Amino acid sequence: MEATEKVHCLIIGSGPAGYTAAIYASRAGLKPVLYQGIQPGGQLTITTEVENYPGYPEGIMGPEMMQHFEKQAARMGADIRYGIATKVDFSGPVHKVQIDEEKWIEADAVIISTGASAKWLGLESEQRLNGYGVSACAVCDGFFFKGKEVAIVGAGDTAAEEALYLSKICSRVHMIVRRDEMRASKVMQERVKNTSNITVYWNSEIDEVLGDKKVEAVRIRNNKSGDKQEVPVSAFFVAIGHQPNSDIFKPWIEMDEAGYIKTIPGSSRTNVEGVFAAGDVQDKIYRQAVTAAGSGCMAALDAERYLSAKGLH
């Protein structure tokens, strides 16, 4: 027989959205239980300096900021736990969430704040050399390749922004773009084109990341001519977008075609009564720490109103 625990308000995920929801839910007396997920603290724990979060006039390092969020949620009384939500059952009035493939939690209200993760190309060599020169975060890891040649794949605003960032640290940035144009905004494209140490490879894809124990080169394939060339680099950055962490909710929660959870405009409510969503898992537009925190606040307030209306609080 699997163990079951009953809680009032369950929060899944520990980025700015989850912790802010925990702060508000605690202060409202909902006694929230928060499971931190695979990456406690979320995406900000793999960034360096955050300069645009209000309240930190000198800026702050991402991991430190997330420690502050956690500390504040704990001080308000949130029950913060290690653990990953592995399955859900939202068929009944009481919402069931399985943790670590073992224990089931029954919750009156659930706040989903599982965030989004970087997308990968899916090459074996990319996976094997991840952390050994392959990275999905130029701002986190660019520093390690100061003065070196690096490559980056992607052509959106993130790729353009990261290529420009790398161009200031590295001797040359090889930017691999799969079509003959970039998706990035015009201003970012212009900046990339006007930066002398960024070389753009149009109509090109990464055939393989080369290197035994660390990245030594990338093999680039022109998808028009089929020609291949090897470019020696010390690092390979992947900037091809993000994937919302919403897979386990798929059978129950309405999402868009990319997997972002749909919320009722102006609220954090999902199609399932008593289940709310906040942060990057439901936001593909703003994706900022401050907007995630704001939506976490909305989710806690919506949860409290829902529980009151149901006579559960």
**C-beta closer to ligand NDP: residue 239 or 277:** 239
To the nearest whole angstrom, how small is the minimum distance from the Cβ of residue 284 to ligand NDP? Answer: 7
**C-beta closer to ligand NDP: residue 8 or 178:** 178
Residue ranges that bind ligand NDP, judged by CB under 6 A = 121, 153-159, 161, 178-179, 183, 240-242, 287
E strand or H helix at 161: helix 157-169
Pair 180, 205: CB distance under 8 Å: no
To the nearest whole angstrom, how small is the minimum distance from the Cβ of residue 181 to ligand NDP? Answer: 8
To the nearest whole angstrom, how small is the minimum distance from the Cβ of residue 229 to ligand NDP? Answer: 17
Q: For residues 12 and 282, give the distance between their C-alpha atoms in angstroms, rounded to a whole number.
A: 13
To the nearest whole angstrom, how small is the minimum distance from the Cβ of residue 48 to ligand NDP? Answer: 16
End-to-end C-alpha distance for the chain, whole angstroms: 30
**C-beta closer to ligand NDP: residue 186 or 213:** 186
| Active-site entry in 9, 89, 108, 137 | 137
Q: What is the CB-side half-sphere exposure of residue 181 using CA atoms within 13 A?
A: 4
Alpha helices in 49-156 (DSSP H): 62-75, 124-128, 138-141
| Active-site entry in 79, 89, 100, 140 | 140
| Active-site entry in 108, 141, 280, 283 | 141
Q: For residues 228 and 152, give the distance between their C-alpha atoms in angstroms, rounded to a whole number.
A: 17
**C-beta closer to ligand NDP: residue 238 or 277:** 238
* Closest listed residue to residue 303, CA positions, set 264, 265, 276: 276
Indicate the pairing of strand 103-112 with strand 95-99.
antiparallel
To the nearest whole angstrom, how small is the minimum distance from the Cβ of residue 240 to ligand NDP? Answer: 4
Output the residue with the shortest Cβ distance to ligand NDP.
156
Please say if 137 is a catalytic residue. yes
**C-beta closer to ligand NDP: residue 219 or 287:** 287
- Count CB-CB contacts under 10 A for residue 295: 27
Q: For residues 313 and 309, give the distance between their C-alpha atoms in angstroms, rounded to a whole number.
A: 8
Please say if 170 is a catalytic residue. no
Please say if 79 is a catalytic residue. no
Catalytic residue IDs: 137, 140-141
